[in-house]
Amino acid sequence: MIFSQAKKQSAKTPLELNSPEVCTWCPGCGDLAIWAAFKQAAVENNWNNTNTALVAGIGCHGHIVNFLKLTSFEGLHGRALPVAAGIKMANHELKVFVFTGDGDCLAEGGNHFIHAARRNQDLTVILHDNAVYSLTTGQTSPRSPKGYISKSTPQGNVEEPLHPLRLAFTAGATFLARAYAGNIPALVKLMKQAEAHRGFAVIQVLQPCVTFNHVYTHQFYQENVYELPASYDPTDKKEAWEKLDEWGLKQIPVGLIYQAVAPTYEGQLPQLAKQPLVKTAPKKQDVSSLYKFYR
Ligand SMILES: Cc1ncc(C[n+]2csc(CCOP(=O)(O)OP(=O)(O)O)c2C)c(N)n1
Ligand code: SF4
Ligand SMILES: [Mg+2]
């Protein structure tokens, strides 16, 4: 990942951002729509291989970085956020996107999610929420509803699902949005808004897994999501909390739910005030006396 030495390649059309890899997602998968939306937003905003870094976790969602011709890193399962935080610390001038799954982000990586939100790190998180562990063939995840039947909970899930936006809100995140993958223009708009926001931004994308999740289907979301009206004020913290609490039949709000202005983690570090760490030459120190001491 040598950003400074890469030759800048700006795409003029979404197709130019396709990598040579053959797309392996199932026909109808919500990941296809997230891929399309991201390419569109990248072309419109000139997110290219020298100003943007992508990080993904492990899961079907993580394949997105293999299908995009942009600088990227696929981390360990659950560890996309710490890698992204490290990239941002090394070069805070980069736009850093994290593609993570509901399992990756909320189970294995739940701890990282809470603390990245608490620190208000300047990252854009695209949470592919299909409410199931898809790559490992459909086990119950922290987003699966109570009663959900899968091969890991054949008699029905006894746990309550986790609400990632409520969790991020209480931890300290400053941009919280929800989108349905089937509405690509709305997703493009939110991706651009989230990237423009300074601080920890999360878009929970309702991403149907057409192969393993037969509860949260395209039809389910088409019947049950509603767009927040223009009169809705995402800067009203109390109203946002009430909206974040909504989840039910005909009652799933989508759009920008909460936005606040707060200092970012990177913005408060004196070491980064002048220039990114990658542009700062390491200080040379003579450590030969230490060697002698420990010999
Ligand atoms: C540390 C570790 N634990 C478990 C796994 C196995 N594993 C790979 S992907 C996955 C689940 C992925 O689910 P999610 O993050 O929701 O992504 P999706 O496939 O649904 O997009 C698991 C459990 C792993 N690769 N590494
Ligand atoms: S298994 Fe599910 S999440 Fe994975 S590619 Fe197929 S539809 Fe998409
Ligand atoms: Mg999943």
CA-212 nearest atom, ligand 2: 2
Q: How far is the CA of 114 from the centre of ligand 3 (A)?
A: 18
Pocket test for ligand 1, best of 24, 34, 58, 213 (most atoms within 8 A of CB): 58
Nearest CA residue ID for atom 3, ligand 2? 209
pLDDT, tens digit, 9 for 90 and up, residues 115-146: 999 999 999 999 999 999 999 999 999 999 99
Predicted TM-score (pTM) of this structure: 0.95
Pocket test for ligand 1, best of 29, 133, 210 (most atoms within 8 A of CB): 133
Predicted confidence at residue 5, as pLDDT, reads: 58
Model confidence band, residue 7 (pLDDT cutoffs 50, 70, 90) = confident
CA-62 nearest atom, ligand 1: 21
Q: If you search the block for the tokens 């950003």, which residue do you land on? A: 3
Q: How far is the CA of 190 from the centre of ligand 2 (A)?
A: 23
pLDDT, tens digit, 9 for 90 and up, residues 207-232: 999 999 999 999 999 999 999 999 99
Instruction: Give 149-154's long-range contacts (Cβ < 8 A, gap of 24+).
Output: 150/212
pLDDT, tens digit, 9 for 90 and up, residues 149-203: 999 999 999 999 999 999 999 999 999 999 999 999 999 999 999 999 999 999 9
Q: Could you state, in order of their start, the residue ranges of all structural domains in the chain?
A: 10-294
- Tell me which architecture the domain covering 10-294 has in CATH: 3-Layer(aba) Sandwich (3.40)
Q: If you search the block for the tokens 């109808």, which residue do you land on? A: 28
Ligand 1 lined by 31 (C-beta under 6 Å)? no
Ligand 2 neighbours (beta carbon < 6 A):
25-26, 29, 31, 60, 130, 134, 209-212
Pocket test for ligand 1, best of 67, 77, 209 (most atoms within 8 A of CB): 77
Task: Tell me the mean pLDDT in the region 20-37.
Answer: 98
Q: Which ligand is nearest to the CA of 106?
A: 1
Neighbours of ion ligand 3 (CB under 5 A): 101-103, 130
Give the Cα separation of 87 and 51 in Å (integer): 12
Does 2 score more than 80 pLDDT?
A: no
Pocket test for ligand 2, best of 63, 128, 130 (most atoms within 8 A of CB): 130
Does 3 score more than 80 pLDDT?
A: no
Q: How far is the CA of 198 from the centre of ligand 1 (A)?
A: 29
Q: Which ligand is nearest to the CA of 62?
A: 1
Averaged pLDDT score across all residues of the chain? 96
